[in-house]
Amino acid sequence: MMGPQSYIFERLVRVVFFLVNMVALYLLLRGHNWPGGGFIAGLASASSLILLSLALGVAAMPRILRFDPVRLAAAGLLVAALTGAAPLLAGRPFLEHFHTHLHGVPLLGDVHVGTPLLFDLGVYLLVVGIACKLIFVLAQSTQGLRALVAEEERRYSSPLEQPLEETAGPDDGKERTDAD
C-alpha cells in the first residue's frame, strides 16, 4: 500500500526529514551539557523516518533503510553498554565519564568531547531502532500487509510458537458455519 500519492507532500516531507535530522544531530551533540541527548534526538530521528513512511508508504521503508531497525537498536545497546563498562577495565566506577578538549578544530573551533557523547550515541541508535521497528510493524499490520516477513518471523520467534499471522489456506474465502 502506498502513501497519499502527492508530489508536493512527498517533496515537503523530504525537506522536513533533512531539517528534523539536523535538529536531532544538534540535540545529540549538546545533550551532555544542556537539555537534549540521545533519547530525544532518537525520538526526533524516528519521527522523521515515520513521516517519510507516511509520504512514501510503509512498504517502501525496507528499501530506504536497507537494514532491520532492530539491528540498529542492538548496535546502539552495544555502544551504550561498552561505553558504560569501559571504565571498569581501568578500575574505575561503571559509567564514569572522561573528557578532552580539542583546540582549533577547523570549522568548529574549540570542541569539548567526552564519553557521554558515545553513550548518547548508543542511546540514540537504540531509540531510533526500537521506535521505527515498533511503528513500522504496527503500520504494516493495520494496512493489511504482513507485519513480519518470513525471515523476521524466523529471527524473532521461537520454533515452538504458532505463526503471528495466518497464511492464506485452501479454505480462505469460504463461509464458515457453526458446525466448523
Under-70 pLDDT residues of the chain = 1-4, 32-33, 147, 149-150, 161-180
Please state, as a whole number, how many other Cβ atoms lie within 10 Å of the Cβ of residue 152: 16
What is the per-residue pLDDT for 173? 45
Among residues 151, 146, 137, 139, the alpha carbon closest in space to that of 168 is found at: 146
Query: Residue 167 in contact with residue 88, Cβ under 8 Å?
Result: no
Per DSSP, helices labelled H in the chain are: 7-30, 38-56, 61-65, 69-89, 115-142, 150-156
Residue 15: what pLDDT?
Answer: 94
Q: What is the value of pTM for the model shown?
A: 0.77
Measured distance CA(98)–CA(57) in Å, rounded: 43
CA pair distance 159, 14, nearest whole angstrom? 40
